[in-house]
A = this chain, B = another copy of it.
């Protein structure tokens, strides 16, 4: 149990005081993210909510580690779609947790919830309206930061709402064994598309073909000529590109799109550690091929979450969607796990067990 050693119970004025380990951003990050950019500190937390507050205090069970967290470590000169992390303060991410104290009528002690939390062992959630109660306890709780959480909703919304696929479409997914990619590929198969994925190791490629049912897959690190690879995989061109990586892959995909193809821009992980993003030179293909390239942010789809949750829960029960999680344990490992995303060390959805119940 990750946090047991750190837990120290002190009775003080009838409030239970626990030690709370948290991951702090030391300063805004430029260039490649390293462990020195973050620090694990221990604070004390009282197991109660402030008197009169509608806040909820949760004990975190699982934390999600996602590429977009790197974006929040920059110092943006202009407002971004999500606020930058503040140096010296705890970082935030999505988590699954158990309510340990509540000032809100909709949440009671013992409820399981998922939502945005601090990278720590206990979080006081000031606006618990942002939390989702867990409706399907029959699934592993960790699914709620993966296939049944923001990751799943990203894949679902990006693929169905933004790409608007048709049966028989030729679909290409980059970072395809990653948290979102693996689900996009499987949703595309459910829709009746032909799906090819790229990944960064033979192990991942094998997973795509055997576990996730991709029609084809390749290890981009072994391909000498990406353009030739895409032409081999898509002799007729790509109808839908689900973009997770950016850079050279995007530039090459632009040359291999079909007329009126869709590029769904979900993320560009290859660019997040670069101070100066790579230049994309083949954008004129957007004109000549009448391509639609459209970005989306999953936050915009949270209002549709319950509908998604039921549909995805159904697919999992029917065996139509599998998911692979890459699990680490211990709050102290969050920094290394986050850094590992950018070298592709994870296989599947990266998450960290923070505590057993």
A284 close to B271 (CB less than 8 A):
yes
Which one of A80, A81, A277, A284 has the greatest number of beta carbons of chain B within 10 Å? A284
Closest to A262 in B: B294
Chain B residues in 8 Å Cβ range of A277 = 281-284
Q: What does the 1/0 interface line of A234-260 toward B look like (CB < 8 Å)? A: 000000000000100010000100010
Chain B: minimal CB distance from A130 (Å): 20
- Residue among B71, B279, B287, B297 making CB contact with A267, cutoff 8 Å: B287
Copies of this chain present in the complex amount to 2
- Contact status A281-B281, CB under 8 Å: no
Contact of A284 among B246, B279, B288, B290 (CB under 8 A): B246
A283 touches B300 (CB 8 A): no
Once the chains are docked, how many angstroms separate the CA of A292 from the CA of B295? 7
Docked pose: A286 CA to B263 CA in angstroms: 11
Contact with B along A290-329 (1 / 0, CB 8 A): 1111111100100000000000000000000000000000
Q: Which residues of B contact A71 (CB under 8 A)?
A: 288
CB distance from A293 to the nearest CB of B (A): 5
Is A265 interfacial (CB-CB < 8 Å)? yes
Distance from A68 Cβ to chain B, minimum over Cβ atoms (Å): 9
Say whether A297 contacts B293, CB under 8 Å.
no
Q: Report chain B residues within 8 Å CB of A78.
A: 255
The yes or no answer to A203 lying at the interface (CB within 8 A) is no
CB neighbours (8 Å) of A259 from chain B are: 81
A278 to B280, CA, bound (A): 8
- Indicate if A14 sits at the interface (CB-CB under 8 A): no
Write the chain B residue with the least CB distance to A297. B290
Q: A250-B283, A284-B271, A284-B277 are in contact. Are A295 and B290 (CB under 8 A)?
A: yes
Complex CA distance for A273 and B80, rounded to whole angstroms: 36
Given contacts A81-B288, A288-B80, A290-B300, contact A246 B295 (CB under 8 A): no
Does chain B have a CB within 8 A of A268? yes
Q: Tell me, rounded to whole Å, the shortest Cβ–Cβ distance linking A259 to chain B.
A: 8
> Would B288 and A295 count as touching, CB distance under 8 A?
yes
Say yes or no: is A211 at the interface (Cβ < 8 Å to chain B): no
With A277-B284, A281-B278, A284-B277 known to touch, is A294 a contact of B297 (CB < 8 Å)?
no
A23 interface residue (CB < 8 Å to B): no
Q: How far is the CB of A164 from chain B (nearest CB, A)?
A: 12
A289 at the interface (CB under 8 A from B): yes
In the bound assembly, the distance between CA atoms of A267 and B284 in angstroms comes to 8
Contact of A280 among B80, B280, B288, B295 (CB under 8 A): B280
Residues in B neighbouring A292, C-beta threshold 8 A: 292-295
With a cutoff of 8 Å between Cβ atoms, the chain B residues found around residue A278 in the complex are 279, 281
From A78, A280, A297, residue with most partner B Cβ within 10 Å: A280
Say yes or no: A283 contacts B268, CB within 8 Å: yes
Q: Which residues of B contact A279 (CB under 8 A)?
A: 278-281
Chain A interface (Cβ < 8 Å from any Cβ of B):
71, 78, 80-81, 246, 250, 255, 259, 265-268, 271, 276-297, 300
